[in-house]
Amino acid sequence: MNLTEKTLRQTYKYKGRILNLRVDDIELPDGKPALREVVEHPGGVCIAALTETQELLFVEQFRYPYREVV
């Protein structure tokens, strides 16, 4: 299944020393238009879901800022 979103235009609303804010016009995999509000910054967060039997749970999904399925 193709989950990739296509970027049509990027518009920066704010550019700062610590972060940038932009709005992207995109095309969804089904061809419909949509908007993505993106915060660009150097940091990030990761959460690991661990079951009682010590198994890690992962979800595969399209992450727009990376423009790929992760």
pLDDT of residue 65: 82
- Residue range 4-47, pLDDT digits in tens: 999 999 999 999 998 999 999 999 999 999 999 999 988 877 77
Structural domain boundaries in the chain: 6-69
Q: How far apart are the first and last CA of the chain?
A: 14
Structure tokens at 63: 């992450």
Structure tokens at 42: 């150097």
Phi, psi for residue 64 in degrees, rounded to 5: -55, -45
| Nearest residue to 59 (alpha-carbon basis) of 42, 46, 44 | 46
| Nearest residue to 36 (alpha-carbon basis) of 4, 65, 68 | 65
pLDDT of residue 8: 98
pLDDT of residue 7: 97
